[in-house]
Amino acid sequence: MSTESTRHAVRLAPARLFASATFRVLGLPLRVESSSPRVLDAARDAFGADEAGPAERAAARIRISVRPGGGGDAGPVSHGSPRRQLLILSSPGCRGFADNLLGEAVAEVSEGLLDDAEHFRCGVLEALALFMLARRDRDPLHAGAVVRDGTALLLAGRSGVGKSTLVYAAARGGLQVLSEDAVYLQLDPFRVWGTQRYLHLTPGSARFFPELEGVRPRLLANGKTKLALDLRVHAPAAACASADRAGVCLLARGPEPGIERLEAEAVVDALTAAPEPGFDVYSQTVGARVRLAARRGAWRMTLPPDPSDAVPMLHRMLDAVER
């Protein structure tokens, strides 16, 4: 489907665009254009300060028009992918699409949705950007990641196993944060990229971290209720953009906390056998990237009840990767 036919399918009217900026996301230049400067402010919050020069050719482009009103439009944004190249966004406050072959995304959002920074950032800006950039040698893997001295440890596990809580505990313990739930693996040359500005913890996680007692849960773009933590506030020294060395750790729950060494192929098999929706699109290609990450070290860690008790085990695995 061409860009024009896709635009027609979601019935997006042409918009007058007068604000634009180019950001570096996953190491690639991303152009954001909008009818409202507020969209650019939201993009700076999501992606950081403008880093790519305006003359640099963008790997992907997002165009967003803003319509007046829509005070009741804030809420989860639905994401559908009728085929691998196409992402469709829909909600009372948003209509849009992204074509990752063309590197083009177009959306129309209401002011009401734009007012809800969390839903707009996660449900629209990041969803469109990451869907397109993943096709530029950035295969996504369902894993968090922490970094020490330029070496990453990927923390892979099913939804609900505790990746985000463990990542936050690691940040409190002095490690940097690459990502809480998805990393992007570059094959040539090998590099691990992350989106490191926010963490989303279950409300029950606050019992482990007294400083989170006053943080109010929020309804996120995916419909889940979480504690949304801005790393710039809660762990300002923890953010990290990428790493070129890595190991891989599979996370599990069980009666006896501890770590066991695995063969790299066992990790590849575990992470490509039955990936969760969204990550399954890359199950045929991500294995080679996981193999490169696991060649320096691969483990399974059975998590202790208190995530802070797992931080010394993370350091032990990082010690082995760095040898």
Residue-wise pLDDT for 158-176, tens only, equals: 989 999 999 999 999 999 9
In this prediction the pTM is: 0.90
Give DSSP secondary structure letters for 60-71: EEEEEEEES--T
Give DSSP secondary structure letters for 16-45: ---EEEEEEETTEEEEEEESSHHHHHHHHH
pLDDT surpassing 50 at residue 7? no
Six token digits for residue 11: 């019935």
With beta carbons less than 8 A apart as the criterion, state whether 240 and 194 touch. Answer: yes
Q: What is the mean pLDDT of residues 189-200?
A: 89
Six token digits for residue 136: 């530029």
Give buried/exposed letters for 98-109 (b at 16+ CB in 10 A, else e). bbbeebbbbbbb
Segment 94-114, tens digit of pLDDT: 999 999 999 999 999 999 999
Q: What is the mean pLDDT of residues 308-317?
A: 97
**Confidence at residue 69, expressed as pLDDT on a 0 to 100 scale:** 82
Read off the pLDDT band of 55 (50, 70, 90).
low
**Confidence at residue 233, expressed as pLDDT on a 0 to 100 scale:** 80
Segment 31-51, tens digit of pLDDT: 999 999 999 999 998 888 666
**Confidence at residue 177, expressed as pLDDT on a 0 to 100 scale:** 93
**Confidence at residue 125, expressed as pLDDT on a 0 to 100 scale:** 95
Architecture of domain 139-322: 3-Layer(aba) Sandwich (3.40)
* Residue type for position 323: R
Segments making up each domain of the chain, as ranges: 3-133, 139-322
Enumerate the β-bridge partners of residue 291. Answer: none
pLDDT surpassing 60 at residue 21? yes
In the chain, the percentage of residues whose pLDDT exceeds 70 is: 90
Read off the pLDDT band of 235 (50, 70, 90).
confident
**Confidence at residue 18, expressed as pLDDT on a 0 to 100 scale:** 73
Segment 179-189, tens digit of pLDDT: 999 999 999 99
Strand order of the β-sheet with 86-91 is 19-25, 28-34, 60-67, 104-110, 94-99, 86-91, 78-83
